[in-house]
Homo-oligomer: A and B are copies of this chain.
């Protein structure tokens, strides 16, 4: 075992391999030189006090146990992650934090109430929680309008044109009204660009839907007016 190269596992000190003492240089910051370690050492060595020895061993032992605990937890986390491949310890942690965020976002709407479609047509794009963690931003876009048979077709087309990655979409209907909510990840670099192109895509849907809806409406409710509002945040 590597850890016993300098520090023997048993105090009786049975020779069990070729020995090579290393880590013998000390970098002297003051002079900027390498010096022999012993040069600057005083009495302290005196050699082989068993007390110091035992203390040192238990110290490094404890430290090793600590490392093992941490690494075990890291391994557990690696197993919990959707990503399978081998990973850097730092990148693993980065993945974990993005996982946690994602899960939190996914779990939220359960408690945050439902998106009931209102009476005014609406296109809304907002940014959720920009904690400057890893350059990725979460956008929440929503569209509220009348339901028409071709709505879903238009939506689907718009989705494929959407920038970033679509995490989730949710749609609810009430009466003849419908509200669709999208959750989209965007790179913080292209954030504003995505922002406006999402807005454009959804507004485009709204236009088409409005056209066909207005046609149908004018037959039945010629008096009804259409109110449209665009909201950004």
Q: Which residues of A contact B (CB under 8 A)?
A: 4-9, 11-13, 15-17, 19, 21, 23-41, 45, 47-49, 52-53, 56-57, 66, 69-70, 73-74, 76-77, 80, 89-90, 93-94, 96-97, 99-101, 103-104, 106-107, 109-111, 113-116, 133, 147, 149, 152-153, 155-156, 159, 166, 168-175
Q: Which residues of B contact A48 (CB under 8 A)?
A: 32-34
Q: Which residues of B contact A168 (CB under 8 A)?
A: 116, 172-174
Q: Which of B30, B152, B153 has a CB less than 8 Å from the CB of A19?
A: B30
Question: Is A36 in contact with B41, judged by CB distance below 8 angstroms?
Answer: yes
Question: Is B77 in contact with A93, judged by CB distance below 8 angstroms?
Answer: yes
Expressed in whole angstroms, the minimum distance between the Cβ of A228 and any Cβ of chain B is 23
Q: Which residues of B contact A24 (CB under 8 A)?
A: 26, 37-38, 40-41, 45
Question: Is B26 in contact with A23, judged by CB distance below 8 angstroms?
Answer: yes
Q: Which residues of B contact A16 (CB under 8 A)?
A: 30
Question: Is A109 in contact with B100, judged by CB distance below 8 angstroms?
Answer: no
Given A24-B38, A174-B169: A47 touches B30 (CB 8 Å cut-off): no
Cα distance, A100 to B99, chains bound together (Å): 8
Tell me how many chains of this kind the complex includes: 2
Cα distance, A152 to B107, chains bound together (Å): 26
Question: Is A34 in contact with B52, judged by CB distance below 8 angstroms?
Answer: yes
Would you list 28 pairs from A and B whose C-beta atoms are within 8 A, ordered by A residue?
A: A9-B29, A13-B29, A13-B30, A19-B30, A21-B26, A24-B26, A24-B37, A27-B53, A27-B57, A32-B48, A70-B89, A73-B93, A73-B94, A76-B133, A80-B97, A96-B96, A96-B100, A103-B103, A103-B106, A103-B107, A109-B114, A110-B114, A116-B170, A149-B152, A149-B153, A169-B172, A170-B171, A170-B172
Question: Is A26 in contact with B47, judged by CB distance below 8 angstroms?
Answer: no
Question: Is A27 in contact with B13, judged by CB distance below 8 angstroms?
Answer: no
Give the residue name and chain of the B residue nearest to A183 (CB). B174
Q: Which residues of B contact A99 (CB under 8 A)?
A: 100
Give the residue name and chain of the B residue nearest to A10 (CB). B32
Question: Is B47 in contact with A35, judged by CB distance below 8 angstroms?
Answer: yes
Cα distance, A104 to B99, chains bound together (Å): 10
Question: Is A5 in contact with B34, judged by CB distance below 8 angstroms?
Answer: no
